[in-house]
Amino acid sequence: MQAPINRKKSRITSIDIAHRAGVSQATVSRVLAGSPLVNAATRKRVEEAVKELNYKVDRHASSLRTQRAGTLALLLFEDPTTDDSRINPFFLAMLGSITRACARYGHDLLVSFQQLSDDWHGDYEDSMKADGLILLGYGDYRAYASKLEQLLAQGTHFVRWGAVLDDQSGLAIGCDNHAGGRLAGQHLLAQGRRRIAFLGDASNRFPEFQARFRGCDEALRDAGLSLAPALQVDADSNEQDGYEAIQTLQARGLSFDAVFAASDLIAIGAMRALHDAGRRIPEDVAVVGFDGTPMARFANPPLSTVVQDTAKAGELLVETLLHLVREEPAANQMLTPTLEVRASSQV
C-alpha cells in the first residue's frame, strides 16, 4: 500500500511521482524526457504514477533549460564570520573573478545567499531568473549532497566550487586539496617540525578539509611519521574556532611544534591564541594556513599559506556553467595549489 501524498503542496511534483512509483527523481526525469536508458517495467510504473496523480509538466519551470535569460546566478552559503558579511573572505576574491568572467561573456550576474530549505533551488528554476547556478560553499557536505541531487534530477544547469568527488552530483571546479596538504606537510618537515597539529574537521562532512589532512599525513608518513589523532581538533573556517582549537590542544597537555590549519581564518585565530599563551611564532610553533587570502599577508607574523588560484577558479566556474547551458561537453577540473612561505613558518 502506497503512503499518502502530502497534499499541502500547491501542485504535484516529480518528487511525488518518484515516491509513488518507488524510483528516484532522476528516473522520473528520464522517463518524462523520453530517455531510452529506463527499462520498460520501470517506465510503466512511472507512467502509471503520472496518470494516477494527474501530473502535468510545468512548462514554465522547464523553460529555464530551453530559453536564455542572459543571467547567471551565484549562490553563496552563509558562513559564521566575525563581521556582518556572513561571507568567507576567500569567496570574496573569487566573486571578483566570477563577475569579470561574466562580463567578458556578456552575462549579468545575480548574487544571493543560498536558502537551504527544501525548495531553495526553486526560486531560480521556476522564475527564469537565471540560465544556471554557480554554488560557493556548502557547510556540512553530507546534508548538502541531497540538494545537489535535486538540482541534477530536475535538469538544472549548475556548477559548484568545492571538492571533486567520485560520487558527486553535477560538476565541480576545485583545488587539489590533497596536493596542498602534502605541500604544507613537506614544508613543515623541512623546517624540522615533527609534532604537527591539524586544525579543521577531517571527516567526510568537510571533504576539502579531509583531503588537506590526508595530504599532510601522507607527507609525514613518507618520513616515517604521521598526524597524531590527539593533535587534530575540529574547527570551522573562522578565527574564533582557530583560537579555541589551540586552547583545546593546550588543555590536552600535549606538545606540538607546528600547526597546519585547514584555512587561513583558522590559522589567524590560532596565531592569536598562541600569542596570548606566550608561544613564539615560528620559534616555538610554526603555522601554515590554506587558501591564500589577502589577510594572510598582513597577519602578525605574515602567514605562510597554501594558495588557491581564485582568478582561474572564477573563470572556470563561469566557462563550465556556460558549456552546460549550451549543452556542450563539460567536465570537473582541479587546480594545482602553490605554497607561499612567510615568517609564520620559517625562522
Q: Which strands sit side by side in the sheet containing 108-113, from one edge to the other?
A: 108-113, 71-76, 132-136, 158-161, 171-175, 333-335
Task: Give how far the C-alpha of residue 172 lies from the chain's centroid of Cα atoms, to the nearest Å.
Answer: 9
Domain positions in the chain are 14-57, 67-174+311-334, 177-308
Query: Do 14-57 and 177-308 fold alike per CATH?
Result: no
Continuous H helices in 128-222: 141-153, 177-190, 207-222
Predicted local confidence at residue 124, as pLDDT: 59
Predicted local confidence at residue 18, as pLDDT: 86
Predicted local confidence at residue 70, as pLDDT: 83
d(C-alpha 100, C-alpha 145), whole Å: 29
Predicted local confidence at residue 131, as pLDDT: 87
Fold of 14-57: 434 Repressor (Amino-terminal Domain) (1.10.260)
pLDDT one digit per residue (tens) for the chain, 347 residues: 444 444 444 577 878 888 889 988 778 777 765 555 678 888 889 888 888 888 765 544 444 444 566 889 898 876 665 666 567 888 888 999 999 999 988 889 988 876 555 555 555 555 557 888 999 887 778 777 878 888 888 788 999 999 998 888 899 999 999 999 999 999 999 999 999 999 999 998 999 999 999 999 999 999 999 999 999 999 998 999 999 999 999 999 999 999 999 999 999 999 999 999 999 999 999 999 999 999 999 999 999 999 999 999 999 999 999 999 988 999 999 999 999 999 999 98
Predicted local confidence at residue 258, as pLDDT: 98
CATH number assigned to the domain covering 67-174+311-334:
3.40.50.2300
Predicted local confidence at residue 297, as pLDDT: 95
Here the cell at position 34 is: 523520453
d(C-alpha 41, C-alpha 46), whole Å: 9
Here the cell at position 100 is: 569579470
Among candidate residues 228, 234, 215, 237, the one with its CA nearest the CA of residue 257: 228
Cβ pair 41, 35 in contact under 8 A? no
Burial annotation 319-342 (CB, 10 A radius, 16+ → b, else e): bbbbbbbeeeebeebebebebbeb
d(C-alpha 249, C-alpha 270), whole Å: 11
Predicted local confidence at residue 50, as pLDDT: 85
Among candidate residues 192, 249, 191, 182, the one with its CA nearest the CA of residue 220: 182
CATH architecture classification, 177-308: 3-Layer(aba) Sandwich (3.40)
SS3 177: helix
Q: What is the pTM of this model?
A: 0.77
